[in-house]
Amino acid sequence: MAGVTFAKGGVHPAEHKELTEHLAIEEMPPPAEVALPLSMHFGAPAKAVVQKKQEVQEGDVVATVEKGLGATIHSSVTGTVKAIEPRPHPTMVRCDAIIIERDPAAPPRVYEPVDWLKLSGEQLLARVKEAGIVGLGGAGFPTHVKLSPPPTAKVDTLILNGAECEPYLTTDHRLMVEMPQKVVEGAKVLLKILGIREAVIGIELNKPDAINAMNKAAEAASGSDATIRVQGMTVKYPQGSEKQLIYALTGRSVPGGGLPFDVGVIVQNISTTLAVFEAATLNKPLYEKVVTFSGRGIKRQANLKVKVGTVLSDVVNYLGGTTPDLLKIVSGGPMMGFAISTLDVPIVKTSSGVLFLDKTETDVSPHGPCIHCGWCIEACPMGLQPKEVAIYVEAGKGHLTEKFGVFDCFECGCCAFVCPARRPLVQFARLAKMAIKRGR
């Protein structure tokens, strides 16, 4: 299968997937305590609906969003609410969190399968909303909102994002290899909700086993009600970013400021699709997820199924601790993830991986002046000029950079990745956007 790819730019970072790609998903025993941040989705923080000392069951609603964008939060363990207090957060520094102490005697909750085929699209959509599902790959945009495009949009294609183009991360890879039928079934649920029949699953060619497994499952599931096919994609970062993915798979370009449904497409990632599957077929809310723990700074690497809210230090203990050469901890992939400074942060819905990078894997050397090599321009998948933006920001003229299209910059990091002067170009782009909004 020849790979399709996006229009311009892109880079080839070392993959490091060999650390975890062959490790079967392993379930981590539930921790003694979980911390559920009220903000782990795009939109306003949820409001706690439980009180201190209240007893909760695994899967119970503990926080909701009444209006506006947001997602319901469920308890990931059975136990007692110990506190509602600010805790460290992987991307927001600190955020209020519901702390639940697990009752060690309580058995895990069992969900009975239900026949989702009897449910209508609206009923399924309501399930997705009740299950608190958000986009699990990135910013955590509420999935039920994404699945409700305005009636003017003519959506005809569902894209499942199996690119997993960030180095190190292998969760979607393992899910596709180990439970392809569930993923495909989830896709069918999504198709029913959207009222369409075409789905494309894009997978980078560095995962032949996943392509194989998904191909078989997709063929078996395709029929009169759905056409699901797998498309191999060139191994190139950022193949999995929404606009690049849509272009690679359909040849359509989402204009700046637009959304995928403007070109008739809805994109979901593999983990999200699996969560949709569980919501529809088991009525199970989203409070567990598979996360890749990798990098040479931790004793044992793994693809772990963990409870949302599990504090990182518990995971680290479970995996045997960190190594002395550990230099940086990153929540997410190494290209777009956030560096974190404490092991007290919990795993949230949007965590796809946590990387423990040692000094051979990451680079914290200081940056120098721009030497105009133009490599950043060549690398930018949006055809921007990162170096110009950076020079403007350094000169205190960040507010004048709109003409360079900084708002198209989705902070993929390709530019900074190639920069020989090690310039923090993503940071400069962020500062430029802030300066434009501020007007100076």
Partner 1 sequence: MATQWAVSVSPHVRKGTTTSQIMWTVSASLIPVMLLSIYNFGLRALFITLASVISCVVVEAISQKALGRPVSSKDGSAVLTGILMAFVIPPGVPYWLPAIGAVAAIFINKELMGGLGFNVWNPALVGRALLTASFPVYMTAAWIPSRAVSNVPIDQYVWGGLDAVSTATPLYVLRHYGFEALTQQFGSIGTIYQNFFVGFKPGCIGETSGVLILLGGLFLLLRGIITWHIPVSTIASVAVMSWIFGGNTWFSGDPLVHVLSGGVMLGAFYMATDYVTSPTVKPGQIVFGIGVGVLTVLIRLKGGYPEGVCYAILLMNCLTPALDEWFKPKRFAPPKQAPVMATK
Stretches 115-123, 216-224, 306-314, 405-413: which one binds ligand SF4 (CB under 6 A)?
405-413
Instruction: Find the part of the chain contacting partner 1 (CB under 8 A) among 143-151, 155-163, 195-203, 421-429.
Output: 421-429
Please, which of residues 295-324 interact with partner 1 by CB under 8 A?
313
Residues 228-267 that bind partner 1 (CB under 8 A): 243, 247, 253-258
Report DSSP letters for 84-139, one per residue: EEEEEETTTEEEEEEEEEE-TTPPPP------GGGS-HHHHHHHHHHTT-B-TTTT
Instruction: Quickly list H helices, 163-269.
Output: 171-178, 180-194, 208-221, 242-250
Of 291, 282, 293, 301, the residue nearest 349 (C-alpha)? 291
Binding segment for partner 1 (CB under 8 A), chosen from 63-71, 205-213, 302-310, 400-408, is: 400-408
Q: How far apart are CA 125 and CA 145, in angstroms?
A: 9
Q: Closest CB to ligand SF4 among 132 and 413?
A: 413
- How many CB atoms sit inside 10 A of residue 428's CB? 25
CB of 161 to partner 1, least distance (A): 18
Whole-number Å distance between alpha carbons of 212 and 138: 26
Asked whether position 385 contacts partner 1 by CB under 8 A, the answer is yes
DSSP tag of 366 = P
Beta strand pairing call for 353-358 and 326-331: antiparallel
437 part of the interface to partner 1, by CB under 8 A: no
Q: Counting contacts by CB under 6 A, is residue 59 touching ligand SF4? A: no
* 371 is a site residue for partner 1 (CB under 8 A): yes
Residues in contact with 270: Cβ distance below 8 Å, sequence separation at least 6, in sequence order: 160, 161, 162, 164, 171, 172, 175, 176, 183
Rounded to 5°, angle at Cα 266 from 132 and 41: 30
Q: Taking CB under 6 A as the rule, does residue 315 contact ligand SF4?
A: no
Residue 252 CB, nearest approach to partner 1 (Å): 9
Asked if residue 376 binds ligand SF4 (CB under 6 A), the reply is yes
Polymer length of the chain: 440
Give the whole-angstrom CA distance, residue 346 versus residue 330. 13
Q: Which is nearer to ligand SF4, 228 or 418 (CB)?
A: 418
Part of the chain binding partner 1 (CB under 8 A), chosen from 27-35, 56-64, 133-141, 333-341:
333-341
From ligand SF4, partner 1, none, which one binds at residue 405 (CB under 5 to 8 Å depending on kind)? partner 1
Q: Is 374 one of the binding residues for partner 1 (CB under 8 A)? A: yes
Binding interface with ligand SF4 (CB under 6 A)? 370-376, 379-382, 384, 386-387, 390, 409-415, 418-421, 423, 425-426, 429
